[in-house]
Amino acid sequence: MRLSTMWKFRDREFVAMQTSHPEQARQATLYNPQFLRLLGCFGLFIVHLLLSLLAILGAPLVSAAAFVALWAVILLCFLVVRPRRVLYVFIFLLPLYQWSMVALLKLTGSTMLVSAIQPWKEVLIFATLGLVGGYHLLFVQRVRLKLLDLLMLGYLALNLLYIVIPFATSPVTRLYGFRSLVLLVFLYFLGRVVPLAPIRQKQLINAFLLLGIGTGIFALVDRFLLPIDWPTRLGFYDYLASESASGSIGFIGPMNMPWTFWTSTGMRRTSSFFANPLDMAASVHLMGVAALVVMLMTRRRTRWHLLAKVAFGLTLIALLFSISRTSIVTFALETMLVAFLLRRHQLLLLIILMAMVGFVAALFSPLGAFILETITLRNSSMLGHFEGWEDGFLSILQTPWGLGPGTSGHAGARSGLQVGGESQYVITGVQLGVMGLFFYVMLQVVAIRDSIRLFRRSAGPTQMLALITGVSRVGLAIVGLTANNEIYLFSAYVSWWLVGWVHQRHDTDLTNAPPNVPPDVPATVPSNAAA
């Protein structure tokens, strides 16, 4: 029996192995991933104590508090839960991330404390990938590189090269841009090495549904119960000013709130508990698609089907309140794609008809003027998009090798060196040139292709989650045409993790259940395939 299957045994199987194969049982105990996680946690705990001691002796007390908070997150995730639960940490905490930082700055007034705690996401990613990925490579199975693996490694290598090349930007700026560009690579490989059994896949889908319900409820609260300027009262403007290199914000609209919270016609957009309305709208491409897939692939009058209906309705309300043109149109296309892939042709025609009726009705609603401005290209936001695209395209044509990391997008705005923008593809092309843009586009194409392939050859929750991954990546790829969508934490982190999980599933034995097996009943899998 190979070590690559030992760690997947459940307790009863391990007891049986102790009786029949005592030597293999001893080796399984030695290389058990839980034992290695505990060992890694002990090492992190020692590092945490040393750093805290140094901070107390030679640095302000706030540095010690930052170290404690930073390492406590890592230790809790590894000591209390399994590595797959890190995904749940991202799902339920990332939507609240920015507002927690705003509240922390409001309560403490310390930008140093906020800056020290902010990297907990990246530290958690690298710590998890280092421990779990190292175990996976050493003891589980040999690496079988696929096309997307090679593209990810090529994209990472290009970014590493651009850090070394002495561009006009400072090394700190290049490092900050590098971080924003390559996090998707590490998230992908996290999904590649952290397994999810069918029952865990169903739990993950339920997490999307619950988050969608929470998003819709709080969007209603934001719309009808909270003061219209509650972000400003919480201290959002001060937080944005502290994040800016110059200490001032140039894109603030009415009530000291960013223009992302407003339309050009003066309507307030809803953000729920996400960082901004566009962030919430991008996240709907995961939550809303998950609810739609469960609705269409489960039996009616079951609890799961009813839960999906509630989640779909509330996420749709949240999306409409965000008044994000690209996301609303893209979500309509996503629903059509789901209906097409599931061969629900009548539903597809109904969706098209409802979209046409909804568009005509919106023209006679308070949004009519906003829609007409968009169609006639007189909207200030649309003009800003065109200006950013033009600057970006000119930069790519003039310097096809790129200007280096940190010269566009969020990283460029933070350093004051922004060139172009308003599109993830333009932002990537400005920084990494034509080669980097090619890699990024290919990552999108191959991720979508392989997700749809897994959907067609699997059954049960695996089939559902593969469809959610593929369709949501289509939507986020479209949204990336008009937005820097890799800075939307929830949608970026979770979607790239799921893309990695898709390719991990391609390496395992898929279920052989016939196509008519109801997807809400998990298909039987071999015992050695359980996580």
pLDDT tens figures, 440-492 = 999 999 999 999 999 999 989 999 999 999 999 999 999 999 888 888 999 99
Give 10 or 96, the one with higher predicted confidence.
96
Share of the chain above pLDDT 70, in %: 75
Tokens at 23, concatenated: 């030597």
Q: Residue 258 in contact with residue 240, Cβ under 8 Å?
A: yes
pLDDT of the residue at 267:
85
State whether the Cα torsion 143-507-10-201 is positive or negative: positive
Give 352 or 132, the one with higher predicted confidence.
352
DSSP 328-361: HHHHHHHHHHHHHHTT-HHHHHHHHHHHHHHHHH
Burial degree of 413 (CB within 10 A; 0-12, 13-18, 19+) = middle
Q: Provide the mean pLDDT of the chain.
A: 79
Report the C-alpha gap between 476 and 399 in whole angstroms: 27
Share of the chain above pLDDT 90, in %: 34
Average pLDDT over every residue of 30-57: 52
pLDDT band at 29; cut points 50, 70, 90: very low
Q: Mean pLDDT: which of 32-41, 381-390, 498-507 is highest?
A: 498-507
> Kind and range of the H or E element at 63?
helix 61-79
Give 495 or 58, the one with higher predicted confidence.
495
CB neighbour burial string for 422-461, b if at least 16 within 10 angstroms, e if fewer: bbbbbbbbbbbbebbbbbbebbbebbbebbbebbeebbbb
Q: Mean pLDDT: which of 30-44, 414-428, 490-504 is highest?
A: 490-504
266 three-state secondary structure = coil
- Orientation angle between helical segments 303-322 and 198-224, nearest 10 degrees: 40
In tens, the pLDDT along 262-307 reads: 887 778 899 998 989 999 999 999 999 999 999 999 988 889 999 9
Query: How many beta carbons lie within 10 A of that of residue 204, not counting itself?
Result: 23
Q: Residue 272 in contact with residue 219, Cβ under 8 Å?
A: yes
Cα–Cα distances in angstroms (integers) from residue 324 to residues 45, 367, 434, 518, in the given order: 44, 12, 29, 35
Least confident of 131-135, 180-184, 446-450: 131-135
pLDDT at 518 over 60: no
Average pLDDT over every residue of 224-228: 89
Report the C-alpha gap between 389 and 383 in whole angstroms: 10
pLDDT at 22 over 60: no
Average pLDDT over every residue of 510-516: 41
pLDDT at 503 over 60: yes
Tokens at 293, concatenated: 């897939």
pLDDT at 509 over 90: no
pLDDT of the residue at 345:
87
Alpha helices in 59-170 (DSSP H): 61-79, 85-93, 97-108, 111-117, 120-135, 147-164
Average pLDDT over every residue of 141-161: 88
pLDDT of the residue at 136:
66
- Closest alpha carbon to 382 in 390, 391, 394, 374: 374
pLDDT at 243 over 50: yes
Tokens at 337, concatenated: 């794609």
pLDDT of the residue at 72:
59
pLDDT of the residue at 48:
53
Least confident of 380-389, 440-449, 472-481, 522-531: 522-531
In tens, the pLDDT along 299-310 reads: 888 899 999 999
pLDDT of the residue at 139:
63
pLDDT at 52 over 70: no
pTM of the model: 0.82
Average pLDDT over every residue of 330-353: 91
Give 61 or 491, the one with higher predicted confidence.
491
Average pLDDT over every residue of 512-530: 39
